[in-house]
């Protein structure tokens, strides 16, 4: 269904997918997403969730915490850079870390450094 809607959008605007994506980037800026899955010992994913859920957490890495959501994990907004989210698997001893920023190197850095932080908790 999504593919059909995308095809209709391309036909309606008479643009290729690449042209539509370039138009979105020009209007809203680029967004780079990444994910890391960490297999953790018992109790560690709970410590990580607790760490990011703590209202006293005011900075993550180099950025101030400017917002937080807890709908499906803990999503922390990092100033105007983007966000990082930690989400515990309900079926595996695994913690998933997601990030989205405007630069691929920033997304990679957040994922790597957050992974290192979680493994030390």
**pLDDT digits over 8-35, tens only?**
999 999 999 999 999 988 998 889 999 9
Same structural domain, 45 and 94: yes
The domain of 57 spans 31-120
CA Rg value for the chain: 17
- Do 22 and 57 share a structural domain? no
The whole-angstrom distance between residue 69's C-alpha and the CA centroid of its chain comes to 12
If asked whether residues 112 and 101 sit together in one domain, one would say: yes
Q: Could you report the per-residue pLDDT of 52-111, keeping only the tens digit for each?
A: 999 999 999 999 999 999 998 999 999 999 999 999 988 888 999 999 999 999 999 999
pTM of the full predicted structure? 0.82
Query: How many structural domains compose the chain?
Result: 2
CA distance 52 to 82: 15
Which of 26, 43, 24, 52 is closest to 110 using CA atoms?
52
Do 67 and 115 have their domain in common? yes
Strands annotated E in 1-121: 32-39, 59-60, 63-69, 74-78, 82-88, 94-101
Residues 50 and 88 in one domain: yes
């Amino acid at each position: 269904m999504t593919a059909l809607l995308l095809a209709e959008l391309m036909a309606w605007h008479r643009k290729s997918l690449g042209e539509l994506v370039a138009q979105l980037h020009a209007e809203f800026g680029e967004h780079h997403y990444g994910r890391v899955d960490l297999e953790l010992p018992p109790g560690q994913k709970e410590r990580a969730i607790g760490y990011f859920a703590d209202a006293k957490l005011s900075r993550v890495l180099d950025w101030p915490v400017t917002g937080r959501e807890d709908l499906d994990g803990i999503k922390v907004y990092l100033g105007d850079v983007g966000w990082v989210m930690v989400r515990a698997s309900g079926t595996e001893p695994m913690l998933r870390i997601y990030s989205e920023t405007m630069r691929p190197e920033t997304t990679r850095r957040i994922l790597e450094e957050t992974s290192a932080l979680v493994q030390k908790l």
